[in-house]
Chains A and B, each alone.
Chain A
Amino acid sequence: MSFPYEYIFKYIIIGDMGVGKSCLLHQFTENKFVPDSPHTIGVEFGTRIVDVNNKKIKLQIWDTAGQERFRAVTRSYYRGAAGALLVYDVTRRITYNHLTTWLTDARNLTNPNTVIMLIGNKKDLEGQRDVTYEEASAFAKQNGLIFVESSAKTGENVEEAFLRTAKLIFQSVQEGNVDLIPGGVSPQTNPTTNDPTTTTTKDNNCSC
C-alpha cells in the first residue's frame, strides 16, 4: 500500500456563524487557535490522518460558512459526508435555538448512516454560559446525537469530538452499513487527484 491511510472519511462542520467551526478545524488539524479569525465565506478544507482500531484513516474535513445567506449554497456540501459536526456556542442561546434547522438540513441532505455529533463549543467561557450541559445533553439524546462540549481555544475535547465520530463511522463501516473505499485501492481516494468537488460527486460509489 502506497498511501499512509486505508480509509477516507468526509466530515462537514455546520452551525451558526461565529460558533467556532473554523477554530475547531484548525485546532484539530494544526493544534492552533487563532482568536478573532475572519468569518469563513465559503468552504474551507483540512485533513488529518488518525488511528482508529489500528487503521489509518484520513479525515477530510469541510468547514462551511455559517451565515444564513449562504445556507442554500452550503447545502451542496453535505453530500457524501460520513460525519457531521453540528456546532453551537454555549454562550449564545440563539445558536442553540437554530440547531433544529441545521439538524433538519443534515438529516435531509446526508445518508441515514451519517454520524452526527453535537458540539457545544466555547466551554472555556464558563462565566458567560447561556446553555446548560444538561439541556443540550437532553436535546442530543432526544435526537439520537452524540454530544460533547469542547473548547477550540484550549483544545479540550476537540480531539475527542473528531475521534469519537471517526470511531462510530468505522464501527458502521465494519457492520457493513457504510460502504467506503479503502484508500490506495480506488483511484478516487488517491490523494493526488482528490478534489473536493469530485469527492462530493462520487456518491455513486460511496454511499456514506
Chain B
Amino acid sequence: MTDNVSDINNINNNNTQNNNNNNNNNIIVEDFDGVSKEVITASIDAINHNSLRNSMPTLYKSVDVNAQWIANKLKERENEFIEKKNMIIFLGTWNVNGKKPQESLDAWLKDPQVVSLGQPDIYAIGFQELDLTAEALLLKDVSRSLPWEQHISNTLQGDYVKLLTKQLVGILLCVYVKKEHRQHITQVQSDIAAVGIMGMMGNKGGVAIRFSFYNTSICIINSHLNAHLENTQRRNQDMRDISKTIKFTAEDGRLLSIYDHDQLFWIGDLNYRIQLPDHEVKERIKKKEYHILLEHDQLLNQMKVNAAFEGFREPPISFAPTYKYDAGTEDYDSSEKKRTPAWCDRVLWKTAKTAENVALMGYRRHELLSSDHRPVSCSFLIKIKTVIPDKRHKVYQETIKELDKKENDSMPDAAISTNSIDFEQIRFMVPVVKNIVIENIGQVIARFQFIPKLDESSLCKSWLKISPIAGMMIPKEKINIELTLYVDSLSSQAFNVLGESMDDILILHLENGKDYFISVSGTFQRTCFGNTLESLVRYPHPVRNNIPIPPEQKKLSIPKELWRIIDYIYNNGMKEEGLFIESGVGKEMELIKDCLDTGENFSSIGPLSIHSMAEILIRFLENLCEPVIPFQMYQQALDASSSSISCKTLVSHLPAVNYNVFFYLISFLSEVLTYQQSNKLTPDQLAIIFSTVLLRPNPSSPQQYQTDAATIKKKADLILHFLISKDLM
C-alpha cells in the first residue's frame, strides 16, 4: 500500500512541474471572454478523488489554440489593464479540543488589534479536534461543524458570505469573503488528505481550499499533524504526505498541486513542541523569554534544515505558547500528564516566485479559554491583481484585431501586371499574343485559377485562349500568363455579321483570397473573310466601311469581293498552269484581303502572283461561316451526288444568294476548263478542290471527321456533274 501511494505521488509530482508554467495563463483563459462564472466546483468527495488520482496524466484532447494564443498575448500585456489592490487575508487556527461553541469569537476574529488595521477581505478559519468521539472518526459525522460555521457567521455578520467549508473528521476549514468580492472569486475547489491511524481514518491530516481571487490564486491548508514530543519525524512526513496528496483540477483538466498557487498558506495544529524540560519552559514563559524557547522549537529547527515546510516562512512569534491549558483557565496543564507548553498552533506561508510577496500585519494569539489551546491568527496584506474591464477589453480588441490582421495578411496576395489588355487591331485568322504577369506578393503560397462568370461554363469567349488557366506560386514567384486572341471562321460571325464588340472580362481567382478582373478588348478588322454570303450581299461598299444597304434597297446578287477575285483571275490567269494547285504567296494574300475589304485596287499592290489570287478564292469560300451549300444540306448533298438529276434538284433548293454564287462559280470553272490545254486542269481536279470548300460539314457535327475516300468522291461527284453536263446549268 505504501508503495502504491508513493508511485501515485511521483506521477502527481511530474504534473506539478508542468502546471507551474501554465498556471497563470489558465487563470486568464478562464475569464477572458468576460462571462462571469459562478463557482466552478465545490468539494470533491473521496471517490472522485481517487479516480482522478489514478487517471493518466496526459490525455488527448482538442485544444482551442486561438484562445490560447489570445490568452498568452493578454498575459504579455497584463500591465496595461491590471491594477493592484491591497487585500487583507485573515488566517485563524484553533484546536477546540472537542468543545462546542460556548464563548464569543470576537476576541479572535474581531480582535481590535486586527480589525483596526482594516477589515479583512478574506477569513480563512481552521479548526482541529472539532469532534473527539469515536463515531466521528469512523462515520465522518459533520454535525459538529455546523454549530461552528453558524458561530462564525454570527460573528462576521452580514458583511461576509461563506465561500466554502471543508471538513475531514475533526479538521474543518471555513473560508468567508466580503460580499463585494464574491463575484471575483472563481475556481473554488477543495481537497482532503488523511494521514491519521492507518492513513485513512482522518483524525490527523489536512483539508485544503483553493480559489482564484481576482487574478491571484490562493490555496489554504488547515492540518492537524501527529502529536507527542518525540514524533517530529512523523510530523514532517505528515506534512509531506498532505502536500503531495492534495490535488485540484484546473479548468482544462490538468492537475494542480498546492504549490501551483500565487499564495499558499498552511495553518493548523502542527503539533511541534519545545525541546526543553517542562519546568524550564514554564519558567521562561513567565519571564517572556520566548526567543530562548524558540531556539528549541521543533518546527523552526526542522524548517532551518529543510526537513519540513521547505520554502515556507513563519512570521516571528512574540506570544506565549498556545498549548496546553487547563480548559477555561489561564493555567498551563496541571493534569498528571503535565504536557510541556508548546507553540502547536501556527501559520506559515509561501509565495510563488512569480507572485508579489505579502506583507505581515500581525501574528498573535487570542484569549479564548474554552479549549486547551488558544486560537492564533495571522493577517497579511496581499497585493491582488484586479482587471480593469474597459482597459482589458481594449487590449483584447487590439489582440483580436492583430490576429485578424495576421489572418488577413496570411491570405494569399498577388500583384497583376495589368487589369486591362487591349489587343488593338485584330485581323481575321491572325493570332495575337499578349502577356500578363502575376506575382505572389503575399507571405504564403498562392494558387490561382481562372474561373467562369456566373452561369457560364467557359472561362472566356471562344476567340480567346488562356495559358495556363491555373497555377501555383511560392512567395515572390512570378508566372507569365499568355492570352492569345484568334478569330477564326467560327468566331468571326459575331464581329463580321452580328457587329458585336470584342471584349471580355476574365476572373482570376486566388484560392482563399481575392479575385481579380481582367478586361480584354480588341478592335476587329471587319472583313469579307469569315463572313456570310447573306451579309456580304448587303454591303455594296467595302466591308471595312461598314455601311449596309438600307433594307428597302435591292441586295447584290453575289458578293462583290467574289466578283473581283474571279474577274482578276479571268483577266490574268486562265491559262496559268497549276492554277488552284500551286500555293499563293502569304504576304501577297494579306494585301489582297486588305484590298478586298477596303475597296482598294489590286494594282496598288504591284505585281501579283496569279496563284495568290487563286488561293484567295479558295480561302474566301473555305472561310465563309456557312458554306455555299449550307451545313444543313450537307448530308442531302452527299446522298444526291450519285445522280445528276438529284444534284440539280438539290441546288434548286439553295437560298437565292447561295444559288447565284454556286452557278457563278460553276460557270467560271467551266470557263477555266476551256483553257485545259494551257492550264492542264481536269474537271476531276477542279471538282475535288472546290467540292471541299463548297460542301463542308458543320464543324460541331461528327461528320467533319468523315475524310474517307468514299465521302471525298461523293463530294467531288456533285461538282463534277455540273462541270461536265452543261444542261444542268
The verdict on B33 contacting chain A, using a C-beta distance below 8 Å, is yes
| A81 CB, min distance to chain B CBs, angstroms | 14
Q: Which of B169-177, B514-522, B710-718 contacts A (4 or more CB under 8 A)?
A: B514-522
Among B67, B404, B505, B517, which residue has its beta carbon within 8 angstroms of that of A47?
Answer: B404
Cβ contact within 8 Å between A197 and B509? yes
The verdict on B482 contacting chain A, using a C-beta distance below 8 Å, is no
The verdict on A73 contacting chain B, using a C-beta distance below 8 Å, is yes
Cβ contact within 8 Å between B514 and A45? yes
Among A1, A42, A194, which residue has its beta carbon within 8 angstroms of that of B515?
Answer: A42
Cβ contact within 8 Å between A196 and B404? no
Among A21-43, those with CB < 8 Å from B are 29-31, 41-43
Cβ contact within 8 Å between A41 and B517? yes
B residues near A54, Cβ cutoff 8 Å:
33-35
The verdict on B405 contacting chain A, using a C-beta distance below 8 Å, is yes
The verdict on A75 contacting chain B, using a C-beta distance below 8 Å, is yes
Cα of A190 to Cα of B595 in the assembled complex, Å: 63
The verdict on B512 contacting chain A, using a C-beta distance below 8 Å, is yes
Cβ contact within 8 Å between B400 and A196? no
Known A4-B66, A69-B505: A196·B454 in contact at CB below 8 Å:
no
Cβ contact within 8 Å between A45 and B513? yes
Known A47-B407, A197-B509: A73·B64 in contact at CB below 8 Å:
no
Cβ contact within 8 Å between A30 and B408? yes
The verdict on A93 contacting chain B, using a C-beta distance below 8 Å, is no
B residues near A31, Cβ cutoff 8 Å:
401
Cβ contact within 8 Å between B512 and A195? yes
B residues near A194, Cβ cutoff 8 Å:
512
Cβ contact within 8 Å between B516 and A49? no
Interface size class of A (residues with CB under 8 A): 20 to 34
A residues near B618, Cβ cutoff 8 Å:
none
B residues near A45, Cβ cutoff 8 Å:
411, 513-514
Cα of A30 to Cα of B411 in the assembled complex, Å: 14
The verdict on B419 contacting chain A, using a C-beta distance below 8 Å, is yes
Cβ contact within 8 Å between A44 and B514? yes
Among B236-273, those with CB < 8 Å from A are none
Known A49-B400, A197-B451: A73·B507 in contact at CB below 8 Å:
yes
Interface of A is mostly: mixed
| A41 CB, min distance to chain B CBs, angstroms | 4
Nearest CB in chain B to that of A72: its residue: B453
Cα of A46 to Cα of B406 in the assembled complex, Å: 11
B residues near A191, Cβ cutoff 8 Å:
407
Cβ contact within 8 Å between A2 and B64? yes
Nearest CB in chain A to that of B452: its residue: A76
Mark each residue of chain B from 483 to 513: 1 if its CB lies under 8 Å from any CB of chain A, else 0.
0000000000000000000000101110111
A residues near B55, Cβ cutoff 8 Å:
none
| A69 CB, min distance to chain B CBs, angstroms | 7
The verdict on A48 contacting chain B, using a C-beta distance below 8 Å, is yes
Mark each residue of chain A from 48 to 78: 1 if its CB lies under 8 Å from any CB of chain B, else 0.
1100001000000000010001101101110
| A111 CB, min distance to chain B CBs, angstroms | 16
Cβ contact within 8 Å between B67 and A196? no
The verdict on B729 contacting chain A, using a C-beta distance below 8 Å, is no
Cβ contact within 8 Å between A65 and B517? yes
Interface size of B in residues (CB-CB distance below 8 Å):
35
Cβ contact within 8 Å between A43 and B515? yes
A-B contact count (CB 8 A): 77
A residues near B62, Cβ cutoff 8 Å:
2
Cβ contact within 8 Å between B453 and A73? yes
The verdict on B59 contacting chain A, using a C-beta distance below 8 Å, is no
Cβ contact within 8 Å between A2 and B514? no
Cβ contact within 8 Å between A48 and B404? yes
Cβ contact within 8 Å between A42 and B67? no
Cβ contact within 8 Å between B505 and A73? yes
Among A4, A30, A43, A196, which residue has its beta carbon within 8 angstroms of that of B64?
Answer: A4
A residues near B227, Cβ cutoff 8 Å:
none
The verdict on B65 contacting chain A, using a C-beta distance below 8 Å, is yes
Cβ contact within 8 Å between A42 and B405? no
Cβ contact within 8 Å between A29 and B515? no
Cα of A11 to Cα of B34 in the assembled complex, Å: 27
Cβ contact within 8 Å between B451 and A29? no
The verdict on B139 contacting chain A, using a C-beta distance below 8 Å, is no
Known A54-B35, A70-B517: A4·B453 in contact at CB below 8 Å:
no
Cα of A49 to Cα of B509 in the assembled complex, Å: 24
Nearest CB in chain B to that of A41: its residue: B419
Among B65, B405, B453, B519, which residue has its beta carbon within 8 angstroms of that of A29?
Answer: B405
Nearest CB in chain A to that of B409: its residue: A30
Cα of A75 to Cα of B408 in the assembled complex, Å: 24
Cβ contact within 8 Å between B64 and A1? yes
Nearest CB in chain A to that of B69: its residue: A4
| B642 CB, min distance to chain A CBs, angstroms | 52
The verdict on B709 contacting chain A, using a C-beta distance below 8 Å, is no
Nearest CB in chain B to that of A79: its residue: B454
B residues near A3, Cβ cutoff 8 Å:
66
| B506 CB, min distance to chain A CBs, angstroms | 9
Cα of A186 to Cα of B407 in the assembled complex, Å: 20
The verdict on B63 contacting chain A, using a C-beta distance below 8 Å, is yes
Which residue, of A4, A46, A47, has the highest number of chain B Cβ atoms within 10 A?
Answer: A4
The verdict on B70 contacting chain A, using a C-beta distance below 8 Å, is yes
| A21 CB, min distance to chain B CBs, angstroms | 13
Cβ contact within 8 Å between A42 and B516? yes
| A193 CB, min distance to chain B CBs, angstroms | 9
Known A41-B419, A41-B517, A197-B509: A46·B408 in contact at CB below 8 Å:
yes
B residues near A44, Cβ cutoff 8 Å:
514
Cα of A62 to Cα of B405 in the assembled complex, Å: 16
Cβ contact within 8 Å between A75 and B405? no
Cα of A29 to Cα of B401 in the assembled complex, Å: 7
Cα of A81 to Cα of B65 in the assembled complex, Å: 28
A residues near B34, Cβ cutoff 8 Å:
54
Cα of A1 to Cα of B63 in the assembled complex, Å: 8
B residues near A49, Cβ cutoff 8 Å:
400, 403-404
| B146 CB, min distance to chain A CBs, angstroms | 39
Known A29-B404, A75-B454, A196-B509: A42·B33 in contact at CB below 8 Å:
no
B residues near A75, Cβ cutoff 8 Å:
454
Closest 9 CB pairs between A and B? Answer: A76-B454, A4-B66, A42-B516, A41-B419, A43-B515, A44-B514, A42-B517, A48-B404, A42-B515
- 14 further A-B contacts with Cβ under 8 Å, apart from A43-B517, A72-B453, A76-B455, are A1-B64, A2-B65, A42-B508, A45-B411, A48-B404, A49-B403, A54-B33, A69-B505, A72-B454, A73-B517, A195-B512, A196-B509, A196-B515, A197-B509
A-B contact pairs, 17 of them (CB 8 A): A2-B65, A4-B66, A4-B70, A29-B408, A30-B401, A30-B408, A44-B514, A45-B411, A49-B400, A54-B34, A70-B505, A73-B454, A73-B507, A191-B407, A196-B514, A196-B515, A197-B509
